[in-house]
Structure 1
Amino acid sequence: MKVLLINGSPHQKGCTYTALSVVASALNEEGIETTVYWIGNKPIGGCIGCFQCAKKQKCVFDDRINEFTALAADYDGFIFGSPVYYSGMNGSLMSFMDRVFFSASAQNPHPFRFKPAAAIVSARRAGTTSALDQMNKYFFHQQMPIAASRYWNMVHGNTPEEVMQDEEGLQIMRYLGRNMAWLLKLKEAGDNNGVALPKQEETRLATNFIR
């Protein structure tokens, strides 16, 4: 089994990466393979609502979004990491997740549905819980079971060295890795013993409140 850890920070080896690395080590100790995917520090445009992904089965803008979605199909679980910008995730990662999850909704087979996921955030001081709330909503939309830790998935520090001094934050990351591994093993056991995935209704209903 494999977990893809997404580093949404513009800094490749910064605080967010440090936290993700602790999660990855805990997963590895449980026999789960891991890969860290850095979204880079080049501009990532937001979704323009053209809905062409529904026709083409991919985003019309050929940047890292389609590359990542194709890669994601081979993984069993996902952990998205972000630094906190003004009490939310950073702008590049928000654009990335908007386009990844919206374009994936049109694909068959779905690259994310029913695969466990989690978010982690890194901050110098505050804004972490609202950023986590923002990120978790993507997983709800894609029917992805959310892996929990023993507290909210956050670390604090202004540098990787400071993050490594956040003993409680590091413990939270270790718990998250082990809990994610447990979920993946449960899912594998269910697959091996004939537990079917939840039934999907043929038509997705969308109700508008203004007629």
Structure 2
Amino acid sequence: MKVVAFNGSPKKHGNTYMLLKMIQSELRNQDIDVEIVHIGGKKVIDCIACNKCFDRKDKRCILNSDFVNDAIEKMVEADGIIIGSPTYFADVSSDTKALIDRAGLVGIANDGMFSKKVGAAVVTARRGGYIHAYDTINHFFGMSNMITVGSSDWNVALGEEIGDVEKDEEGLKGIKNLAENMAWLLKKIHAGEEKA
């Protein structure tokens, strides 16, 4: 089983990354391979709504000058997808949104190629606005016919400076529970597929 986790923060080793590393560690302890892909701060082109992905149906976006098609390939190969983002003006980072818009449209255009994959949102925030960011990521999963994993609380940890999320005990408890739930669900789905 394989999970790909996207870090949408421009701070490569910031708070969002720290939460993704926690999840990676927990999933690896459950024999699930996890790759963290850093997207924040890279050149990510916005969706231009050309709808060429519906004409071409080649599982790729026509825009080829950034890494989004590589990200889409990783999503296709994975059993689970985690999208992590800091909260900017009560929403996800612009890089995270561009990835969601383009990958989401390519997925829908290609007969729902993310359907039945497991998805989890991970959000960091200084103090507030994170619910909308959390919803934005989960809307991508819902519109892609994916199975969304929850936790005992929101999949959010609070902190302003790098490392502050490690002080948010309640947030870390929820993130650990999210990882446990994702591992449990992936194993159940995998066992069911083996029986089928």
Q: Normalising to structure 1: TM-score of the pair? A: 0.87
For these two proteins, the number of residue pairs brought into alignment is: 193
Q: Report which of the two has the higher share of helix.
A: 2
Alignment match, 2:79: 76
Q: 1:178-197 maps to which residues of 2 (within 5 A)?
A: 178-194=180-196
Alignment match, 2:46: 46
Q: Does structure 1 residue 18 correspond to structure 2 residue 13?
A: no
**TM-aligned CA deviation for residue 108 of structure 1:** 5.8
**TM-aligned CA deviation for residue 40 of structure 1:** 3.9
CA distance in 2, matches of 1:108, 1:71: 17
CA shift digits 1:139-168 (9 cap, x unpaired): 011110001110001001112321111111
Alignment match, 1:36: 36
CA distance in 2, matches of 1:73, 1:154: 26
CA distance in 2, matches of 1:40, 1:61: 18
Alignment match, 1:159: 161
CA distance in 1, matches of 2:138, 2:78: 19
User: Contact conserved, 2:4 with 2:74, CA < 8 A, in 1?
Assistant: no
Alignment match, 1:91: 94
Match of 1:146 among 145, 148, 171: 148
Query: What amino acid maps onto 2:12 in structure 1?
Result: Q
**TM-aligned CA deviation for residue 39 of structure 1:** 0.9
**TM-aligned CA deviation for residue 51 of structure 1:** 0.7
User: Contact conserved, 2:15 with 2:165, CA < 8 A, in 1?
Assistant: yes
SS of the equivalent of 2:121 reads strand
Q: Which runs of 5+ in 1 are unaligned?
A: 195-211
**TM-aligned CA deviation for residue 123 of structure 1:** 0.5
Alignment match, 1:129: 131
CA shift digits 1:62-103 (9 cap, x unpaired): 021111111222211011000000111011110111001101
Instruction: Please say which structure displays the higher CA radius of gyration.
Output: 1
Over the aligned positions, Cα root-mean-square deviation in angstroms equals: 1.3
CA distance in 2, matches of 1:161, 1:95: 26
CA distance in 1, matches of 2:106, 2:77: 17
Q: Normalising to structure 2: TM-score of the pair? A: 0.94
SS of the equivalent of 1:122 reads strand
Q: 1:99-138 maps to which residues of 2 (within 5 A)?
A: 99-107=102-110, 110=113, 112-138=114-140
Q: Which runs of 5+ in 2 are unaligned?
A: none
